A and B are shown apart, each in its own frame.
Chain A
Amino acid sequence: MALHLSMGEAHRRIAEYLARFSDAVSSQDGSALKSLIFVSSNSFYLLALADALNVFQDSSRLVNQTDKYSQLGEILIPYFRCLQSIRIGRFVDAYVAFEKAANAFLQEFRNWETGWAMEAMHTVALEIRVLAERADRELASSGKNPEKLQGAGSFLMKVFGALAGKGPKRVGALYVTCQLFKIYFKLGTVHLCRSVIRSIETARIFDFEEFPTRDKVTYMYYTGRLEVFNENFLAADQKLMYALMHCNPRSKDNIRMILKYLIPVKLSIGILPKMELLEKYNLPEYMDVVNALKRGDLRLLRGALRDYEDRFLRSGVYLVLEKLELQVYQRLVKKIYIIQKQKDPSKAHQVKLEVIVKALKWLEMDMDVDEVECIMAILIYKNLIKGYFAHKSKVVVLSKQDPFPRLNGKPVNS
Chain B
Amino acid sequence: MHLLQLMWLRLLQHNSMLVTRLTQVLPLLMAIAIHNIKVTIMDISSQTMILPLSKWVQIKIQTTAGYENSNYNYQTNWWNNGNCGSYPPHLYPSYTSSDTNSTQSSSAVSTNSLPYQQQYNQWTYYYSQSAPVVSCAPRTENTSLTIGCSVEGGSGGYPYPSNQPPPPGTTSWRKDTGSSGLPSLQEKKDVTAYPSNGSGGVGAPTFQNHHINQMPLYFQKPTDSTPLPHENHEDQQKLLYSQSPRLPLSSTNHVPENSQSPFQAIPVSETRRVSKLQIPTNPRIASNLAVGMPKIDKESSTTNAALKPAYISVSVPKPNIKSSSQDDAEAIIKGTFPPSLRAYVERTFSRCKDDAQRSANQKMMKEVITKASADATLFTRNWDIEPLFPLPSTSLDMVEQNNLQSSVPISSLRRRNKSRWEPVAEENLVDKQPSITSDSVNVASWDHFEGTGRAAESKKYESKEGGCNGVRLFSSPQQTLLSKFAQRPVKKPRLGDFPNAIENGDGSSDSDKEQDLTKYYSSAIALANSPEEKRRREHRSRRFEKVQGNQVESKCHGPNIAGPGSIYTRRASAMILAKNLEDGCSRAVEDIDWDALTVKGTCQEIEKRYLRLTSAPDPATVRTEEVLEKALQMVQTSRKGYSYKCDQLKSIRQDLTVQRIRNVLTVKVYETHARLALEAGDLPEFNQCQSQLKRLYAEGIEGCHMEFSAYNLLCAILHSNSKRDLLSSMTRLSNEAKDDEAVKHALAVRSAVSSGNYVQFFRLYKAAPNLNTCLMDLFVEKMRFEAVKCMSKSYRPTVPVAYIARVLRFSRAVSSENCEDKGKDGLVECEEWLRAHGAILTIDNNGELQLDSKVSSSSLYIPEPEAAVAHGDASLAVDDFLTRAL
Least Cβ distance of A137 to chain B in Å? 15
Interface membership of A166, Cβ < 8 A: yes
Our pick among B223, B373, B723 for the contact of A229 (Cβ within 8 Å) is B723
B794 in contact with A157 (CB, 8 Å):
no
User: Given A162-B229, A166-B323, A205-B325: A374 and B724 within 8 A (CB)?
Assistant: no
User: Given A370-B807, A381-B793: A158 and B229 within 8 A (CB)?
Assistant: yes
CA A176 – CA B244 in complex, angstroms?
36
B759 in contact with A374 (CB, 8 Å):
yes
CA A202 – CA B329 in complex, angstroms?
11
Our pick among A111, A165, A314 for the contact of B226 (Cβ within 8 Å) is A165
B326 in contact with A166 (CB, 8 Å):
yes
A371 in contact with B759 (CB, 8 Å):
yes
CA A381 – CA B376 in complex, angstroms?
53
Give B277-332 interface residues, CB cut-off 8 Å to A: 323-326, 328-332
- Report the stretch among A4-12, A21-29, A190-198, A259-267 that lies at the interface: A190-198
Give B725-762 interface residues, CB cut-off 8 Å to A: 726-728, 730-731, 751, 754-760
Give B413-451 interface residues, CB cut-off 8 Å to A: none
B754 in contact with A374 (CB, 8 Å):
no
User: Given A107-B231, A203-B329, A380-B793: A313 and B731 within 8 A (CB)?
Assistant: yes
Residue of A nearest to B757 (CB): A374
Interface membership of B228, Cβ < 8 A: yes
Give A179-227 interface residues, CB cut-off 8 Å to B: 188, 190, 195-196, 198-199, 202-206
Residue of A nearest to B731 (CB): A313
- Report the stretch among A45-53, A244-252, A317-325 that lies at the interface: A317-325
Which residues of B sit under 8 angstroms from A199, Cβ to Cβ? 325, 328-329, 331-332
Interface membership of A242, Cβ < 8 A: no
Residue of B nearest to A377 (CB): B794
Interface membership of A110, Cβ < 8 A: yes
Our pick among A148, A164, A229 for the contact of B329 (Cβ within 8 Å) is A164
Which residues of B sit under 8 angstroms from A373, Cβ to Cβ? 759
B332 in contact with A202 (CB, 8 Å):
no
Interface membership of B393, Cβ < 8 A: no
Interface of B is mostly: helix
A319 in contact with B757 (CB, 8 Å):
no
Interface membership of B583, Cβ < 8 A: no
Interface membership of B336, Cβ < 8 A: yes
Which residues of A sit under 8 angstroms from B455, Cβ to Cβ? none
A164 in contact with B795 (CB, 8 Å):
no
B730 in contact with A313 (CB, 8 Å):
yes
Number of A positions contacting B (CB below 8 A): 62
User: Given A160-B332, A374-B759: A204 and B232 within 8 A (CB)?
Assistant: no
Which residues of A sit under 8 angstroms from B328, Cβ to Cβ? 164, 198-199, 202-203
Least Cβ distance of A286 to chain B in Å? 18
A110 in contact with B221 (CB, 8 Å):
yes
Residue of B nearest to A154 (CB): B336
Interface membership of B220, Cβ < 8 A: yes
Give A138-178 interface residues, CB cut-off 8 Å to B: 147-148, 150-151, 154, 157-158, 160-162, 164-167
A389 in contact with B723 (CB, 8 Å):
no
CA A296 – CA B113 in complex, angstroms?
66
B790 in contact with A378 (CB, 8 Å):
yes
CA A58 – CA B644 in complex, angstroms?
68
CA A265 – CA B755 in complex, angstroms?
17
A391 in contact with B798 (CB, 8 Å):
yes
A188 in contact with B374 (CB, 8 Å):
no
CA A407 – CA B720 in complex, angstroms?
25
Interface membership of A41, Cβ < 8 A: no
Give A376-414 interface residues, CB cut-off 8 Å to B: 376-381, 388-391, 397
CA A210 – CA B378 in complex, angstroms?
36
User: Given A164-B325, A381-B794: A313 and B757 within 8 A (CB)?
Assistant: no
Which residues of A sit under 8 angstroms from B326, Cβ to Cβ? 164-166, 203, 205
CA A377 – CA B797 in complex, angstroms?
13
Interface membership of A106, Cβ < 8 A: yes
Give A103-138 interface residues, CB cut-off 8 Å to B: 103, 106-107, 110-111
Interface membership of B77, Cβ < 8 A: no
Interface membership of A231, Cβ < 8 A: yes
Interface membership of A236, Cβ < 8 A: no
Interface membership of A353, Cβ < 8 A: no
Interface membership of B269, Cβ < 8 A: no
User: Given A110-B232, A188-B728, A316-B727: A158 and B807 within 8 A (CB)?
Assistant: no
CA A100 – CA B367 in complex, angstroms?
11
B754 in contact with A319 (CB, 8 Å):
yes
CA A381 – CA B789 in complex, angstroms?
8
B724 in contact with A229 (CB, 8 Å):
yes
User: Given A103-B231, A188-B728, A205-B325: A378 and B757 within 8 A (CB)?
Assistant: yes
Interface membership of B603, Cβ < 8 A: no
CA A304 – CA B796 in complex, angstroms?
36
CA A313 – CA B328 in complex, angstroms?
34
CA A120 – CA B624 in complex, angstroms?
59
B795 in contact with A391 (CB, 8 Å):
yes
CA A229 – CA B721 in complex, angstroms?
10
User: Given A378-B756, A390-B796: A231 and B723 within 8 A (CB)?
Assistant: yes
Least Cβ distance of B180 to chain A in Å? 13
Which residues of A sit under 8 angstroms from B364, Cβ to Cβ? none
Residue of A nearest to B756 (CB): A378
Residue of B nearest to A159 (CB): B229
Which residues of A sit under 8 angstroms from B380, Cβ to Cβ? 147
CA A390 – CA B803 in complex, angstroms?
13
A374 in contact with B758 (CB, 8 Å):
yes
Interface membership of B800, Cβ < 8 A: yes
Interface membership of B692, Cβ < 8 A: no
User: Given A199-B325, A205-B323, A371-B757: A162 and B795 within 8 A (CB)?
Assistant: no
Which residues of B sit under 8 angstroms from A190, Cβ to Cβ? 724
Which residues of A sit under 8 angstroms from B751, Cβ to Cβ? 322
Interface membership of B384, Cβ < 8 A: no
B373 in contact with A99 (CB, 8 Å):
yes
Least Cβ distance of B235 to chain A in Å? 8
CA A196 – CA B331 in complex, angstroms?
10
Our pick among A157, A318, A325, A397 for the contact of B755 (Cβ within 8 Å) is A325
Least Cβ distance of B804 to chain A in Å? 10
B224 in contact with A167 (CB, 8 Å):
yes
A326 in contact with B723 (CB, 8 Å):
no
Interface membership of A230, Cβ < 8 A: yes
Interface membership of B873, Cβ < 8 A: no
User: Given A158-B336, A195-B331: A165 and B374 within 8 A (CB)?
Assistant: no
Which residues of A sit under 8 angstroms from B232, Cβ to Cβ? 107, 110
User: Given A99-B374, A158-B333, A391-B799: A318 and B730 within 8 A (CB)?
Assistant: yes
CA A205 – CA B375 in complex, angstroms?
35
Residue of B nearest to A205 (CB): B325
Residue of B nearest to A188 (CB): B728
Interface membership of A14, Cβ < 8 A: no
Interface membership of B225, Cβ < 8 A: yes
Query: In this complex, which of A96, A111, A160, A377 has the most chain B Cβ atoms within 10 angstroms of its Cβ?
Result: A377
Pairs across A and B, CB under 8 Å, 30 listed: A100-B374, A107-B232, A110-B220, A110-B232, A148-B376, A150-B379, A161-B226, A161-B329, A162-B229, A164-B326, A164-B328, A164-B329, A167-B224, A188-B728, A199-B329, A205-B325, A229-B724, A313-B730, A313-B731, A319-B726, A322-B755, A323-B755, A370-B807, A371-B760, A373-B759, A375-B757, A377-B790, A377-B795, A378-B756, A378-B794
Q: Which residues of B are interface residues toward A (Cβ below 8 A)?
A: 220-221, 223-226, 228-229, 231-232, 323-326, 328-333, 336, 370, 373-376, 378-380, 723-724, 726-728, 730-731, 751, 754-760, 789-791, 793-800, 803, 807
14 new A-B contacts at CB < 8 Å, known A371-B757, A378-B756? A107-B231, A160-B332, A161-B332, A164-B325, A164-B326, A164-B329, A165-B223, A198-B328, A202-B325, A310-B731, A313-B730, A380-B793, A390-B797, A391-B795
Q: Which residues of A are interface residues toward B (Cβ below 8 A)?
A: 96, 99-100, 103, 106-107, 110-111, 147-148, 150-151, 154, 157-158, 160-162, 164-167, 188, 190, 195-196, 198-199, 202-206, 229-231, 310, 313-314, 316, 318-319, 322-323, 325-326, 370-371, 373-381, 388-391, 397
